[in-house]
Amino acid sequence: QPSLSFNKVDLAFTRAQSDEFPGTEYDRDPSLPFAIDFVSPRTVRLRFSTRDVPIGDAASLMLAGPVPSSDAWTVEESTDAITWTGPFGQVRLERDPWHVEFRDADGRPVTRTMGPGEPATFSTPVPFSFVRRAEDMGRSTAAAFELQYDEKLFGAGESFTRFDKRGQKMNLSTRDGMGAQTGLLYKPIPFFLSSKGYGMFVHTSAPVTVDFGRSFDQSNVVYSGDEMLDLFVFLGEPRDVLSEYTAITGRSPVPPLWSFGLWMSRITYQSEAEVRDVAAKLRQYRVPADVIHLDTGWFETDWQSNYEFSTSRFDDPAGMIADLGAMGFKVSLWQLPYYTHDNSVYREVVDGGFHVRNAGGSLPEFDATLDFSNPDAVEWYRGKLKGLLDLGVGVIKADFGEGAPLHGVYASGRTGWYEHNLYPLRYNQAVWDVTKEVTGDGIIWGRSAWAGSQRFPLHWGGDAENTNSAMAATLRAGLSMGLSGFTFWSHDVGGFVQRAPRDLYSRWLPFGALSSHIRTHGAPPREPWEYDPGMVEEFRRALGMRYTLMPYIVAQAKRSSELGHPMMRALFFEFPDDPASWLVDDQYLFGSSLLVAPLFSEERGRDVYLPPGAWIDYQTGRLYEGARWHRIEAGVIPIVLLVRDHTVLPHIALAQSTADMDWSAVELRVFSSDDRVATGLFALPDGSVHELSVMPGADAPIADPLGGAVTWRVTR
C-alpha cells in the first residue's frame, strides 16, 4: 500500500484487507501445498502451488525424462525445523517464520528464502510470495532468495549484456534480438549459477523475469508467470551444477564430424552457378571448408520460404548437391516456419489448420505461424523438409522461432503464455528429428532456444553488428550460453549486418576457428578472395590451425557432451578456486587445455589473465607464469592462444575437408616446461575418448589406446 512521508510516496508490502464475500465460502488464509524432493545427491526440487491442488508430475518437453529420486539424504526433525543432510549440502526448513535454507557440505550458508520484512530496511524488497491478480484471479509467483555481498551470477541463456548478471534484471522470454548489444534474447534459458556454489532452474515455459539484485542488492527474485513455482536447486562447483542441470534437461549429442569444418556462407547465394563458383574457388584457393550454406535466396522469391528451389536460377539442384558432395561439401538450406499471405504454402497451412490461431480461435494473428504443438502440422512440415533432405541436403537452418504469438491459441489447448517460449524447443526438435531420420546425422543450425533445446544442436548467436563491441558481446553471449547447458554454439564470423571490415574480419576469424563450430555469414562479400590475396592467406592459416587440431576438437566435443559441459568455457569453470578467474569475460577456454584471448581492437597485442599454473604460447612456444596478468603479442594468426603446461595436443595432417582427413597418422605435440609426464585426450570421429600420456623424451604414448591402429609421431 502507498505511504506518504515528507514529499515522497513509497509502496510497501502489507497484509491486504479481506475482499472475499461471503467469508463462509472463501478462505482468506488457505493452506497451500508445497513439496521438497531430493532428485540426486546434489539436486533438490522445490514446488509451490498457489492453489489448493495436489502437486504432481506431468510430462514436460523441457525435461529429458522422468525426474529421479535420491535416497542419499538423511532427515532430522525438531519442533522448530526439519533438516535434510546429503553428501554435498544441507536443506533446512524452518517452521515459523517459514524459510528454506541451503548450506554447503562444510555447513556454510549458500542461500535462503527471504520473507516479509527481511532484512529490516526502509526500502521495500519483494518477499517470497505469490500475487493473485484482481483482474482475473490468475496467479504468478516471486521466489526471493538472499544474495551474499560478494556473490556473482551467470547464465540465463545467450545474453549479450555484462557477463556477471549481478545487478541486472532480465526478462526471459524469446525475442528476435535484432543484434548482439541489447538485453533482448534469442535464447533465454531460465537457469543460472552462482559463485557461491549453487545453481537454479525455473521449470516453466511461462514468462520468467529474474531480478539479480538490481532492485535490492541483497535479494535475488525469480518472478514466474506460472501458477506452480517449480525450482530445481543444484549444489556444487560450476562443473557439478551444469552436469546436474543437464542430467535433468538433457545433454547435447555430438554433431557429425563434417559440421566441425568451415561453413561458407553469405546472405545470400542466388543461383546454382554462384554456388558452384564458390565451391570451385574454395578448392582452388585451398581454403578448407565442409559446408556451403544457401540462405534466403534459393527460392524463386527471396525470403519466401516454400521449400522449393527456384526453377529459373537452379537448373539441377539434385545434381548440384551431388557434385558438391563429391568435392567434400555438405549443403545447408535456410527456411523459417512463418508464412506470409503471398507464400504459395500459406493456403496449405491455413486450410489444413496447421497454424497458430488468433485470440478468437480462427485466423492467423499475423503471418501463418506453424503450430508445432499440432502433430498434423509437424507431419506436414516434416514432409516438406524430407523432400529436401532426400535431394541430399545435409542440414536445415532453423531460423527465427522467437516470435510465436503470445496471445495465440495453440493445438495443445494452451495460449502463447505457455507456448511462446516452448515454441523454439518444439521447432528445434522437429527439424532435428527429421534430419536424423533421413540423413543419419543429428544436427540443425538454430537461432532460437529454450531450456532443453541443447538436446538438438547446434545453435548460433544471431545477427551481430560488425563492430569490436559486438564481437566482445558475442563472446559474452557464448560464455553465458555455455553456462546454460549448451555444449555447442557458434557465431557469424565478422558480424552479420554489413560487409565485415577487413581488420575486424581478420581478427574475428580465429575466434570463430577456436569455437565449437565456425560459419562466415552476413552481408557480402564473405569469401576471402573477394577481399585480397592476403585475406586468402589468413583464412588458410586460421582454418589450417583448426583443421589440424581436429583430433583435439573431436575429443573435447565428445567429453564435453558426456558431461553436459560447454566447449567454450569461462575461466572459472576450470579454475573455480581462483578469485580472479571469476572476473574475466573477454577470454575463454576452448575445451580443457587451450586458453583463447581474441583481439578486440586493431592492436596486435593485449592484456591476458592466466589462471594458476604455467602456460605456453601455441604460436611462439614462449612460457608464461599463471595467476597473473601478462601483455602478450599475437603470433602470425591474429589471436592469443596458450596451452596448459604438460599438455599433449593431437594434430592431424591438413586436408581440404574432414572427409579427406587421414586419421591413421597423428602428431602428438607436447607442450611442457619440464620433465613431467604430459597428458591429453584423443578420439577418432566415431570412437570413444582416450587419454594419452607421453613421457619426457619418448617418441610414442606410454600406452597405445588404439592398439596400433594409429601411427603416433611425438614432437616438442
Q: Could you identify the residue written with the cell 549440502?
A: 89
DSSP secondary structure letter of residue 23: T
Sequence-separated (6 or more) residues with CB below 8 Å from residue 316: 272
Render 257-326 in DSSP notation, one character per residue.
Answer: GGGGSEEE--TT--SHHHHHHHHHHHHHTT----EEEE-GGGSSSTT---S---TTT-S-HHHHHHHHHH
> Does residue 480 sit in helix, strand or coil?
helix
Q: In whole angstroms, how far apart are CA 372 and each of 189, 423, 429?
A: 20, 7, 10
* CA separation for the pair 626, 596 (Å, rounded): 14
* CA separation for the pair 443, 440 (Å, rounded): 9
**Cell numbers placing 112:** 535462503
Q: In whole angstroms, how far apart are CA 483 and each of 175, 232, 348, 698?
A: 20, 16, 41, 38
**Cell numbers placing 636:** 602470425
Specify the amino acid at residue 423. Answer: Y
Which among 118, 244, 402, 419 is annotated as catalytic?
402
Whose CA is closest to 399, among 267, 509, 269, 275?
A: 267
Under 8 Å between Cβ of 609 and 627: no
End-to-end CA distance of the chain: 72
* CA separation for the pair 509, 531 (Å, rounded): 14
Burial of 711 (0-12, 13-18, 19+ CB in 10 A): exposed
Under 8 Å between Cβ of 336 and 399: yes
Render 380-426 in DSSP notation, one character per residue.
Answer: HHHHHHHHHHHTT--EEEE---S---TT-B-TTS-BHHHHHHHHHHH
Q: In whole angstroms, how far apart are CA 519 and each of 285, 459, 461, 569?
A: 18, 11, 11, 19
Under 8 Å between Cβ of 400 and 336: yes
* CA separation for the pair 381, 431 (Å, rounded): 9
Q: Could you identify the residue written with the cell 602470425?
A: 636
H or E stretch at 694? strand 689-694
Q: Could you identify the residue written with the cell 600420456?
A: 693
DSSP secondary structure letter of residue 504: H
Partners of 9 in the beta sheet?
Answer: 4
Q: Could you identify the residue written with the cell 529420486?
A: 69
Which among 227, 367, 399, 617 is annotated as catalytic?
399
Whose CA is closest to 422, among 674, 225, 684?
A: 225
**Cell numbers placing 296:** 534466403
402 noted as active-site residue: yes
Q: Is 149 left (phi over 0), alpha (psi -120 to 50) or beta?
A: alpha
272 noted as active-site residue: no
**Cell numbers placing 715:** 614432437
Specify the amino acid at residue 578. Answer: D
Which among 463, 538, 578, 617 is annotated as catalytic?
463
Q: In whole angstroms, how far apart are CA 454 and each of 209, 250, 308, 419?
A: 21, 7, 29, 18
Helices within 488-529 (DSSP H only): 502-513
Q: Is 612 left (phi over 0), alpha (psi -120 to 50) or beta?
A: beta
Q: Number of helices (H) and strands (E), helices first, in the chain? A: 11, 41
Catalytic residue numbers read: 399, 402, 463
